Amino acid sequence: MFYAKTKPVQTIREHTDCLVAELERLKSTYGSRFVHMDERMWKLLRLAVEYHDVGKAWPGFQNRLRKQLGEKKLPNTITYSVPHNYLSVGMIPIKKYKLTKEESRLLIHAVGYHHERSELPDKEKIEEILENEMRPYLPQLIDHMKLDIPETFSYKSIARLSKRYSQFDDDFYKYVLLKGLVHRIDHAASAGVDIELHADKHIGAQVTAYMEHKGYAKNELQQFAEANTDKSIIVIAQTGMGKTEAALLWINEDKGFFTLPLRVSINAIYDRILSPQEINYHPEALGLLHSTSNDYLQEKEELDEKWEDIYRHSRHLSSKLLLTTIDQILKFPFGYRGFEKELAAMANAKVVIDEIQAYEPKIAAMLIKALEMIHKIGGKFMVMTATLPTIYLDELKKRNIITESDVGKFINQDITRHRICLRQEGITEVGEEIIEQAKDTQVLVIVNTVRRAVKMYEQLRKIDPEANVYLLHSQFTQEDRKLLEEEIKSFNKPKPGEPRRSGVWVTTQLVEASLDIDFDYLYTEISTLDSFFQRLGRCYRNGKRSPVQPNVYVFTEDVAGLGYIYDADLVKKGLALLQPYQGRILDEQAKVEMVQRLYSRESLANTAFLREFEEALHEFDFLDFYEVTGQEAQKKLRDIQTVQVIPECFFDEIFDLVKEYEKCQVDWKRRQEIRRKIEAKSIGVYRFQAEDKLSTLSGLDNIFILHCGYEFDRESRQGRGIVSDIEITMFS
């Protein structure tokens, strides 16, 4: 008996058969979608699956499993350990299958590195194990696996593992595809999930049915997307034109990944696609994957007990349509060990990148490299945005993955929503004006840092303690921030029969793209143009007529966050472009043209933005792959280490939960539930800014107690959040 696993108990042959079944499922559902998978490649994949775990038959490996099962150990004299995947390579009969030199290298590396190990292959140790401890079991193993295994082990194959593939090799993307599919197939079979789920659930057809039911005609943007489902495209379209529907129509019948910068935005789209009143997509075909998606799914009553399966399928990238953040699926340009799984998942799929301009230049560089890699492995992408920096489009054209005909611009000049007023004063100087304006209207105030937001909130509350003044930023606990997000939406869009309230909400750029809100007036500090135009989308969003008087006031003095939140040079250049629109309507065409001018290579010359973008691109283009782990890549992507903290005033509330969590080692569901309750009191912060104010929380990794004050009244929905003398938030 040769075991592969103990939970559940599976022999190597049984486990291999599970992989074969998933391979056949993949081939039958999306086989025709793989550009690089001809019949020879499918044969190599089948061989990789059949031979990937034969090395587990080594008595040293078997005895670890036998000990767990309480079974008698096999004779075993070698005390050191060698990863089974390296042993498997030596037992592949390369000559029997008449493989070319290139094919044999693909197969050897796909099997040899289907587990990424920190230790490199040691040819002498591998040879000793194969000759002294595997050879006696060879007849039984051949009978068990029903495979040809040569009597003369292939040490030449093992030697070929020493030189790993590089992104400059001709067969690099074939290798990535082969190895990545082995990863996907193996992980799906081991987890007991289908590698591809509900392949017949076409999102495009569902969106068309939804639009017909609502009586909506497809606009030019949606028609463009639908007419170009066979290629990668870029669409530039203003807010409110139905970009989400366009993206889903473009995905059509294919497997799709839909990415957004913020979890809140993703959750909102998830709800909309799932809702019976809206798109009403099949719940088990729709996945959700981000750092807190497990909690979000569990809280959705309509999913009942299905949420666990949905979460598992999301983690294994099995969902027909997966809504996710870029850090979950698009960090493969870092070339971390095991990146092939994520990139191979793109080979038969379509990827949507929404709001690419919202990412900082280093991350935008990573995304452009990711789009190039998706293109080369055979996948397709759609970039959709209200404003696209010119250098991003130029770079995509330069890399020959986008042409001018692949770009669609859709601007409705019939509706003009914003008349701006540039004011040479600080936003904190006009508190009384804001309070007066908010007596019978809804006013949104957006500033650049949390500290400025708190100061503004305190000032407005002092001017009129009876006024409806609320504060929203990222330094509230998860549960309180959720309350505030619900409150701002209900404040802004009351239920039928409820009166529309007046008042002020003071916020940071947190609301730029994450919340569907629509205020009468916007008071904002100047920021970079792309950020500023996002802010405009929260004001007079559904306006039917052009405003006669200014409804957007932009404050250009004593601006918070310049130099560390926003590039001061870019803000200055953007302000110069805005000056001609003083007191005038700022239409959609003007916004697009201004961003194109601001983010052209000529305009960006000698700026930190261009330097960071080009340096990051150069690094990705010449990176030595397999140097970092996935976790290290995640850390690089986030650029800085973040931690979850709980204000010390909540310690007594969570004390019993922490103790129960420590004791609850077996019931993982209960542990998950406890951790979720604890994390509801947490806030994400930069570690380096809060280091001297942190205390460890026993038994909970990466959750700390933060020595600070905290203020929030859950009944009135008012308060300042964290009260600290430093800014420690992930998002200002």
For residue range 333-351, what is the model confidence (pLDDT) as tens digits?
999 999 999 999 999 999 9
Q: Quick one: CA torsion of 261, 265, 267, 268, rounded to 10 degrees?
A: -160
Q: pLDDT tens digit string along 106-143?
A: 999 999 999 998 888 999 999 999 999 999 999 999 99
Higher per-residue pLDDT: 631 or 188: 188
Q: Lay out the sheet containing 703-706: strands in order across.
A: 683-686, 642-647, 703-706, 694-696
The answer on pLDDT for 700 being more than 60 is yes
First-last CA distance in the chain:
59
Give me the pLDDT at residue 730, please. 39
Q: What is the C-alpha separation between 599 and 585, in angstroms, rounded?
A: 22
Give me the pLDDT at residue 639, please. 46
The answer on pLDDT for 532 being more than 50 is yes
Query: Which range is least confidently modeled, 51-55, 357-361, 386-390, 539-543?
Result: 539-543
Q: pLDDT tens digit string along 597-607?
A: 999 999 999 88
- The answer to whether the pTM exceeds 0.85 is yes
21 neighbors 195 (Cβ within 8 angstroms): no
Q: pLDDT tens digit string along 145-195?
A: 999 999 899 999 999 999 999 999 999 999 999 999 999 999 999 999 999
Give me the pLDDT at residue 642, please. 65
455 neighbors 446 (Cβ within 8 angstroms): no
Question: Mean pLDDT throughout 382-409?
Answer: 93
Query: Which range is least confidently modeled, 44-53, 112-121, 542-551?
Result: 542-551
Question: Mean pLDDT throughout 680-704?
Answer: 78
Give me the pLDDT at residue 268, please. 85
Give me the pLDDT at residue 210, please. 96
Q: Pairing state of beta strands 3-6 and 9-11?
A: antiparallel
Cα separations in angstroms, 569 against 3, 357, 526, 553, 555: 63, 17, 12, 21, 17
Q: Which of 74-83, 299-308, 375-384 is most confident?
A: 375-384
What is the identity of the amino acid at 125? K
Give me the pLDDT at residue 727, please. 52
Q: pLDDT tens digit string along 583-598?
A: 999 988 899 899 999 9
Give me the pLDDT at residue 732, please. 37
